[in-house]
Amino acid sequence: MAFKFPEENWRVLLLPERQSWQNLEDFFKVAKPNKEEVWADIGCGPGYFTIPLAERVKKVYAIDQSGFMLDRCRERAKSLRNIEYIQCGENRIPLEDKSVNVSLLANLFHELLEPKAFMEEVNRITTHKIILIDWHPIPSPAGPPLEDRIPEEKVIDFMQKEGFKLIESHAIFPYHYFLIFQTKEV
């Protein structure tokens, strides 16, 4: 069974010290969001990435399995009107085909029960890029148990075998890998 983040600990995801190991400005320098794009923040939680993304792009779909987490994100977003909140299933995202330019999966891949089915669904809704950020299997001040973390090489191998092309890899975070894949042909 994959580790699932306990939603009652949602405040941990917003602690100020997170900036020291998952800095948003570093993220934006590499991800390069722009005002013409529609993004999906899949596994958005309380909106660590969602809210600052909404200030930089045309629209963000805040997507999570947890209605509780979506409510926390909505409360924090306040007056932002370009965020749409969507509760999803394990391998089903209720969006039209190719409705987003970029899908962000931050700190999520290690939680997937069926990564193949899930990534097929992400590919279905995404036109251009998939940004995948997850935990290196090394000691860190936060994060899932080490045994639940998936090494970067295994994720790259899995994604390439599934037909996704790795277009960028960045070492901007001390405890995470940052991978950008091109969506695959359907």
pLDDT at 178: 99
How much is the mean pLDDT over the chain? 93
Domain that holds residue 137: 32-182
Instruction: Look at residue 60 and tell me if it is in a domain.
Output: yes
Contact in structure between 81 and 12 (CB atoms under 8 Å): no
Q: For 88-104, what is each residue's pLDDT tens digit?
A: 988 999 999 999 999 99
Overall domain count for the chain: 1
| Distance (Å) of CA 169 to CA 87, 106, 119, 124 | 29, 14, 18, 23
pLDDT at 186: 58
Give the Cβ contact number of residue 139 at 10 Å.
8
pLDDT at 31: 98
Instruction: Look at residue 153 and tell me if it is in a domain.
Output: yes
The token pair at 105 is: 């999966």
Contact in structure between 42 and 65 (CB atoms under 8 Å): no
Instruction: Look at residue 6 and tell me if it is in a domain.
Output: no
Instruction: Look at residue 171 and tell me if it is in a domain.
Output: yes
77: pLDDT strictly greater than 70: yes
DSSP at 176: E
Instruction: Look at residue 71 and tell me if it is in a domain.
Output: yes
Instruction: Look at residue 157 and tell me if it is in a domain.
Output: yes
Instruction: Look at residue 40 and tell me if it is in a domain.
Output: yes
Q: What is the CATH number of the domain that holds 82?
A: 3.40.50.150
pTM over 0.85: yes
Instruction: Look at residue 13 and tell me if it is in a domain.
Output: no
Question: Which band of pLDDT confidence, cut at 50, 70 and 90, is reported for residue 19?
Answer: confident
Among 18-22, 38-42, 57-61, the least confident range: 18-22
Q: For 119-152, what is each residue's pLDDT tens digit?
A: 999 999 999 999 999 999 999 988 899 999 999 9
Bridge-based pairing state of the strands 38-42 and 83-87: unpaired
